[in-house]
Structure 1
Amino acid sequence: MPAPDDEGRRILITGATSAIGSALAEAYACPGVTLHLHGRDAGKLGAVAECCRALGATVYARNLDVRDFAALHDWLTGLGPLDLVIVNAGVNSHIGPAGEAEAWAEVEAVLEVNLKAAMLVTHAVLPAMRARGSGQIALVSSLAAYFGLPVTPSYCASKAGLKAYGEALRGWLGREGIRVNVIMPGYVKSPMCAAMPGPKPFLLSPEQAARAIRHGLERNRARISFPFPLNLGTWFLAVLPAPVALRILRWLGYGA
């Protein structure tokens, strides 16, 4: 049975075929909930959608590349009012094993998916939320937004931009009844995480991440950062003098 607060909710999740995205879709799937799920992989998207339908949710799946901004905007503006929008679609890039620069095409893709498309999703769903004075937007950033890791410069830049964007939106829209939350996970088990260079302390399962995210959203936390103590450590990197922070990162194994 759905929780009382879930009955009738309309929820959008981009990147629903990723580890965190699929875990979130299943966490919210129950009778009375309508899920709009997005993903680039049609096969994986269909599997996630069927799983959520089996849990009782009404599910609509949309397969598209969020870099097709015109198609993305047309789809979103046709959905009608939404109660919760989780902007989760993301990609990563990193320097080469011998310190080679990221390919420019990869840099562009990271910025377009992680930042520009996320801002477009927000821009498209906001008018309906503002018209009725309610709604919630959750932007999936990263603990890497606190201080840039030398091995993933473009990814860190995109997630730092998204963090700042979400914090600005919260200050702007809070008085209108619209909740905006910045989600800042640490390492979550996934193919994308496995491909990232460097150590991965306090690695979480997607289900653990989904529980932490839902818990934070229900309490309307401005920043949903986890796990402890990694969130505290990354925050300290941001407040330390930059040379000290960089020495710590190299000592931990994140140097180029």
Structure 2
Amino acid sequence: MSKSNPPRTILITGATGGIGGALAKVYAEPGNTLILQGRNAARLAELTALCETQGARVLTQVLDVCKLDELSGWLKEICQLEKVDLVIVNAGVNTNIGPEGKGERWEDVQNLIQVNVLAAMATVDAVLPSMRSCGDGQIALVSSLAAYFGLAVTPSYCASKAAIKAYGEALQGWLGPEGIRINVVMPGYVESQMCTDMPGPKPFLWSAEKAARYIKCGLARNQSRISFPFPLNLGTWFLAVLHPWISVRILRLLNYSG
């Protein structure tokens, strides 16, 4: 783990979500350029105005990350126009098995994998050439504590975040020697519409602002894994260590059985 100069040009996907919007605000300061992607044009405009009042230069793109070719094309163009210091791969969606446990709709599962996994990988693929050419840059991949052990209520979401965790860890080993810093961010429950829509208890709930400040600090220190809050991080890690038979029963006792 090593510290580096503060990033001046920060690109955030999913900037109109809870964590994404909060991250934009904590990086909005004089001298910084924010490149913000989101699907909600009105929310993006509000966020832009707020960040500009804090002194940041803001560039925005209304784009559905499911359109991988458009996403890749936009990112490559941006990297030609701007030297992007930090890319926060944050866009994500969730789905669940429903209140009666009927199961996830296949259409929702396909969309989730497109956003949470393929779009995340497409983002990395598009920004890497410019970073590798100058031997510098930082990419933060937003996974989840749900990556440690699958929850019965959100199987596809857990699978997607486990994929991003493993992907980020692999990138660390590959790109670290080239001077490119890769960080895997693993939040617990953070206040957002996506969190509200998720069924089940939400212990140790953090505000989006608190989470953003913690992530920013972890990225500044170049922590390979930024996971929080500590009690939930420890608990979910133990679920992965224990025998699955035990972990499943613990989750049932905690009302995560679906």
Q: If the TM-score is normalised by the length of the shorter chain, which range does it land in?
A: over 0.9
Which residue does the alignment assign to 1:98?
100
What letter matches 2:144 in structure 1?
S
Partner AA of 1:127 in structure 2: P
- Partner amino acid for 1:230? L
Runs of 5+ unmatched residues, structure 1: none
Which residue of the partner structure matches residue 59 of structure 1? 58
CA deviations 1:72-91 (Å, max 9, x no partner) are 01100011231000000000
The separation in 2 between residues aligned to 1:164 and 1:138, in whole angstroms, is 13
Distance in 1, Cα, partners of 2:221 & 2:5: 13
Which residue matches 1:247?
Answer: 249
3-state SS of 1:229 partner: helix
Provide the rounded CA distance (Å) in 2 between the counterparts of 1:216 and 1:222. 9
> 2 CA distance for matches of 1:161 and 1:196?
20
Q: How many residues align?
A: 252
Match of 2:123 in 1: 121
User: What secondary structure, in the 3-state scheme, does the structure 2 residue paired with 1:225 have?
Assistant: strand
User: Which position in structure 1 is the counterpart of 2:31?
Assistant: 32
> TM-score, normalized by length of structure 2?
0.96
The correspondence for 1:174, drawn from 176, 184, 194, is 176
Runs of 4+ off more than 4 Å: none
Structure 2 gaps, min length 5:
none
Shift of 1:5: 4.2
CA distance in 1, matches of 2:90, 2:72: 16
Q: Does 1:238 align with 2:240?
A: yes
Task: Determine the C-alpha separation between the residues in 2 that align with 1:171 and 1:50.
Answer: 39
- Partner AA of 1:196 in structure 2: M
Select the residue among 174, 195, 198 that pairs with 1:193.
Answer: 195
The alpha carbon displacement at 1:224 in A equals: 0.3
Residue identity over aligned pairs, in percent, reads 62
Shift of 1:9: 1.2
| Residue identity in the other structure for 1:65 | D
Shift of 1:191: 1.0
* Structure 1 counterpart of 2:27, one-letter code: Y
Name the structure 1 match of 2:134. Answer: 132
Residue 152 of structure 2 aligns with which residue?
A: 150
> How many Å separate the matches in 2 of 1:61 and 1:5?
24
Q: Which has the higher contact order (CA 8 A, sep 6+)?
A: 2
Map Cα deviations across residues 203-252 of structure 1 (whole Å, 9 max, x no partner).
00001100110111011111100001100000000000000000000000
Aligned residue in 2 for 1:218: 220
Q: The residue matched to 1:35 in structure 2 has which SS?
A: strand
TM-score when normalising by structure 1: 0.97
Q: Deviations over 1:136-160 (max 9, x none)?
A: 0000000000000000000000000
Letter in 2 for 1:202: F
CA–CA distance in 1 between the matches of 2:10 and 2:235? 33
1:107 corresponding residue in structure 2: 109
Per-residue deviation, 1:98: 1.3
Taking the aligned partners of 1:51 and 1:119, their CA distance within structure 2 comes to 30
Query: Deviation per CA, 1:175-215, whole angstroms, max 9, x where unpaired?
Result: 00000000000000111101111000000000110011011
Letter in 2 for 1:217: L
Q: Which amino acid aligns with 2:60?
A: A
Q: How far apart, in 1, do the equivalents of 2:98 and 2:132 lie?
A: 44
